Amino acid sequence: MANKRIQFFLLLTLLGSSALKAQQKEWKPWVLPEAGKLIAAADFSTDYRLHLGLEKKGLMLGLGGAIDQYRFQSYPVYLQARKTFVFRKVNGFVFSSLGYNMKSGTETVSNWSGWWLPSTKEVSYRGGAYAELGLGHAIRILKKQRLHVSVSWVMKSLEESYPSSIWNPVDQIPRTISNSVKYNLHRTALRVGWKF
């Protein structure tokens, strides 16, 4: 009886490993770190990203995370899909990302009051949506499409809240109100990455 159990578990192990090998032949893992320059009306900035996923027949699906330093440093986390194609001997790809831009917490920032005196204020942040759409070129190095160069449109949103004082002329007492500003930041990104 014990021998039959051992044989059964050995058979399951062999079948499981062969199924895993067959699955690895279809879906291959990929890793793609990228560095980019973000260009917009307000500023030039950088971002650093890391993608992890699976690839099958030119379709690359994965998860990504980034450090986005444009205007407010934030941390987007997103799903990404890439599709490779060949056009006139050029290896290209199109891609899109959709996720959440994480920015939270409270910061103390410099503030100039209405009396032109320097002061500070507490600013709190909440994250928002993150989206991207772009295309690129995969350059062959060592017989594989290693170097990825891309251009894309990127949007991140977040909300900023801070208190401010206003003068109430009726009872002559200053009153504190809360201000909230929602930012939808649209940028063009130029990126270079290396696919493993």
Render pLDDT for 80-109 as a digit per residue (tens, 0 to 9): 999 999 988 889 999 999 999 998 778 887
> For 96, how many CA atoms within 13 A lie in the half-sphere containing its CB?
1
Question: What is the number of structural domains in the chain?
Answer: 1
Most confident region among 21-30, 72-81, 120-129 by mean pLDDT: 72-81
Judge whether 1 lies within some domain.
no
What pLDDT digit, counting tens, does each position of 46-76 carry? 999 999 999 999 999 999 999 998 888 899 9
What pLDDT digit, counting tens, does each position of 130-180 carry? 999 999 999 988 878 789 999 999 999 999 998 887 777 777 777 788 889
Q: Tell me what pLDDT residue 16 has.
A: 45
The band of 115, judged by pLDDT with boundaries at 50, 70 and 90, is: low
**Domain ranges, residue 174:** 27-194
Judge whether 125 lies within some domain.
yes
Based on its alpha-carbon atoms, the radius of gyration of the chain, rounded to whole angstroms, reads: 25
Q: Tell me what pLDDT residue 83 has.
A: 95
CATH, residue 187: 2.40.160
Judge whether 17 lies within some domain.
no
Q: Which two tokens stand for residue 164?
A: 């401010």
Judge whether 13 lies within some domain.
no
- Kindly tell me the burial class for residue 37, based on how many C-beta atoms sit within 10 Å of its own C-beta (0-12, 13-18, 19 or more): middle
Judge whether 62 lies within some domain.
yes
> For residue 134, which phi and psi values (nearest 5 degrees)?
-165, 180
CA distance 114 to 109: 16
